[in-house]
């Protein structure tokens, strides 16, 4: 990640985010969640994971998305700020998430 000269400047800037939650969210959630792209896949440790990816206008919008996800009861696995140059790098053709080598959080109850 590049060094930030003023990390507080990110609060009010548009940014690309990738958010992962356990479980499957249907496509109807895309509009409710700021127009983010949704894709689901099966992960070895968590079963189904939904990945949301896209630009949000600022961190207030990010907090709104996180609040709505909290309301679904879906466990939050990760939130990432992505450099603009990365784009939708985790997406394959057709918006499907590719790869299954995610070394993300482990289910503590397994």
Residues 6+ apart with CB under 8 A from 5: none
pLDDT tens-digit profile of 1-35? 555 566 666 678 889 999 999 999 988 898 889 88
Q: Is the pTM of this model over 0.95?
A: no
> Minimal CA–CA distance to 25: which of 14, 35, 43, 38?
38
For residue range 73-98, list pLDDT tens digits in order. 999 999 999 987 665 544 332 333 33
Contact 23, 74 (CB under 8 A): yes
């Amino acid at each position: 990640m590049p060094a930030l000269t003023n990390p507080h400047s990110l609060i009010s800037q548009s940014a690309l985010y990738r958010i992962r939650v356990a479980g499957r969210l249907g496509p109807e959630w895309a509009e409710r969640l700021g127009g983010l792209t949704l894709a689901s896949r099966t992960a070895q440790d968590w079963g189904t994971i939904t990945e949301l990816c896209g630009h949000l206008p600022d961190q207030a919008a990010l907090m709104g998305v996180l609040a709505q996800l909290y309301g679904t009861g879906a466990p939050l696995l990760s939130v990432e700020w992505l450099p603009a140059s990365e784009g939708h790098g985790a997406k394959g053709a057709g918006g499907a998430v590719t790869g299954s080598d995610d070394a993300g959080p482990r289910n503590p109850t397994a």
